[in-house]
Amino acid sequence: MGVPLSKEYNEYKRISQRSSYSRDVGLAVPSFGACVPFFETASYLADENCCISYKLQSTCIGDRHFHASIQKRGLAAFLILTDLTHGKTSTICDIQAHSEVILLPKKLLQFTDLQICNVIGLHYEWLVVQVFCQDGMKFFICDILTNTCLVQYTHRYAPQSKLKLFECHISPDRTFMVLKENQLYQTLYNSNIEDGDNFILLQIHLPIGTCTEEPCELLKSFVSLAHGKVAVTFDPREDNDLIVYSCEMPDKLNRNIYKGHMGLYKPYRDAFLCTTGLLNQDFPALPGKFLNLQFLRDGSALVMAVLGSANPARTISILCRNQFVTVYVLDPDCFQKTGSFSYISHSLFQHFAPVVSSSGTLACCAGTIVN
Q: Is the pTM value of this prediction over 0.75?
A: yes
Name the pLDDT band for 6 (thresholds 50, 70, 90): very low
In a domain, 97, yes or no: yes
Indicate the pairing of strand 176-181 with strand 166-170. Answer: antiparallel
In a domain, 79, yes or no: yes
Evaluate if residue 16 carries a pLDDT over 70. Answer: no
The predicted structure's pLDDT at residue 42: 35
- Average pLDDT value for residue range 176-200: 76
In a domain, 12, yes or no: no
Assess whether 39 and 181 both reside in one domain: yes
Q: Give the integer Cα–Cα distance in Å for 179 and 340.
A: 29
Assess whether 290 and 184 both reside in one domain: no
Assess whether 191 and 262 both reside in one domain: no
The predicted structure's pLDDT at residue 161: 74
In a domain, 364, yes or no: no
Query: How far are the Cα atoms of 56, 235, 361 from residue 370, in angstroms, in the given order?
Result: 22, 25, 8
Choose one of 214, 230, 246: the last residue of a domain.
214
Assess whether 74 and 222 both reside in one domain: no
Evaluate if residue 17 carries a pLDDT over 70. Answer: no
Assess whether 221 and 183 both reside in one domain: no
The predicted structure's pLDDT at residue 330: 92
Q: How many structural domains does the chain have?
A: 2
Choose one of 185, 214, 243: the last residue of a domain.
214
- Average pLDDT value for residue range 157-178: 87
Assess whether 223 and 329 both reside in one domain: yes
> What does the buried/exposed string (b/e) look like for 287-308 if buried means 16 or more CB atoms within 10 Å of the residue's CB?
bbbbbbbbbbbeeebbbbbbbb
Q: State what percent of residues in the chain have pLDDT above 90.
A: 15
Q: pLDDT of 323-337, one tens digit each?
A: 788 999 999 888 889
The predicted structure's pLDDT at residue 34: 38
Pick the range with the lowest mean pLDDT from 46-50, 176-180, 271-275.
46-50
In a domain, 18, yes or no: no
In a domain, 7, yes or no: no
Q: pLDDT of 283-314, one tens digit each?
A: 888 877 888 888 887 888 999 988 876 554 44
Evaluate if residue 137 carries a pLDDT over 90. Answer: yes
Sorted by sequence, the CB contacts under 8 Å of residue 89 that are 6+ apart come out as 80, 81, 82, 83
Assess whether 193 and 250 both reside in one domain: no
The predicted structure's pLDDT at residue 57: 60
Assess whether 55 and 190 both reside in one domain: yes
Name the pLDDT band for 30 (thresholds 50, 70, 90): very low
Q: Which residue has the higher pLDDT, 348 or 61?
A: 348
Assess whether 176 and 305 both reside in one domain: no
The predicted structure's pLDDT at residue 128: 92
Pick the range with the lowest mean pLDDT from 86-95, 115-124, 174-183.
86-95
CA atoms in the 13 A half-sphere facing the CB of 308: 10
The predicted structure's pLDDT at residue 138: 93
In a domain, 69, yes or no: yes
Assess whether 227 and 207 both reside in one domain: no
Q: In what order do the strands lie in the sheet with 230-234?
A: 230-234, 243-250, 258-266, 271-278
Choose one of 214, 238, 270: the last residue of a domain.
214
Assess whether 317 and 261 both reside in one domain: yes
Give me the domain span that covers residue 167: 29-214
Q: Give the integer Cα–Cα distance in Å for 16 and 333.
A: 30
DSSP category for residue 161: P
The predicted structure's pLDDT at residue 320: 56
185, 198 contact by CB (below 8 A): no
Assess whether 94 and 184 both reside in one domain: yes
